[in-house]
Amino acid sequence: MKFLEYTPLDRLNDFLSHVNFGERTIKGCLEAYSCKHTGTDKKLSISLEHEILDYLGRSSDTDSSSPADYLLSRSSRKTLIYLVLTLYHMYPDYDFSSMRAHQFFTEESWDSFKQIFDTYMFEASKEWVETNGGNSLLEALYKALDEVVRLPECEIYSYNPDCHVDPFLEKGSIWSFNFFFYNRKLKCVVSFRFCCVSNLVADGFLADDACYNDDGEIFDDMDM
């Protein structure tokens, strides 16, 4: 896997690096990677393949709706390995095999992504229009992703690990989402993580209570 620099993503990353709303800040980051093996990728791919096959062998659930059923296809396992390799390159010091990262990916649609984005990025979207005018933040995101990975050809995945073993989760996190847009033909994947962080916790005014997104009270004062 190799990190790829794309100008269409830079403008969005500049805006999403720190959208401050007083007591909370919304952050986001888009990163593109080629799926060509580099360094230790091949060795890690073999290890991940064995790990997934071992998981399938131990799974007693043969129902067609089982998450394990998706992994029976070699092409599906290959896709999943690319996604986990992307995680390794994003966080090289984190051992994703110890938390069995492959179990936390879920296939999504653009509509399911859009629903989450519209709900949680509502304030950031208003700020984008006020700052940049023209197209909405979602439209700008769609255009950028389409330029990089041809969005209509992409498979979309969300990554939702347990919050206590989530390397994406920042101190004071209120909510956090991680999506991956994978184009099989281009052999390219774009990760998009976005979150909301309590400035009161980050600045030390409140104690950090892990997994704020499970605490409904934190949303009471948010304009959703």
- Domain ranges for the chain: 2-198
State which amino acid sits at residue 161.
Answer: P
pTM above 0.85, yes or no: no
The whole-number pLDDT of residue 211 equals 54
Tell me which of 15 and 100 has the higher pLDDT. Answer: 15
DSSP-derived secondary structure letter, 169 = P
**Rounded average pLDDT over 93-106:** 68
**Rounded average pLDDT over 15-33:** 94
Tell me which of 169 and 160 has the higher pLDDT. Answer: 160
3-state secondary structure of 200: helix
In angstroms, the CA 171 to CA 207 distance is 10
pLDDT tens profile 117-147: 999 999 999 999 999 988 899 999 999 999 9
**Rounded average pLDDT over 168-182:** 88
3-state secondary structure of 151: helix
The whole-number pLDDT of residue 128 equals 96
Q: Which of 193, 195, 181, 192 lies closest to 82 in space, CA to CA?
A: 181
Element (H, E) at 51: helix 41-58
The whole-number pLDDT of residue 170 equals 77
Q: Which of 184, 183, 181, 201 lies closest to 192 in space, CA to CA?
A: 181
Determine the topology of domain 2-198 in CATH: Protein Transport Mog1p; Chain A (3.40.1000)
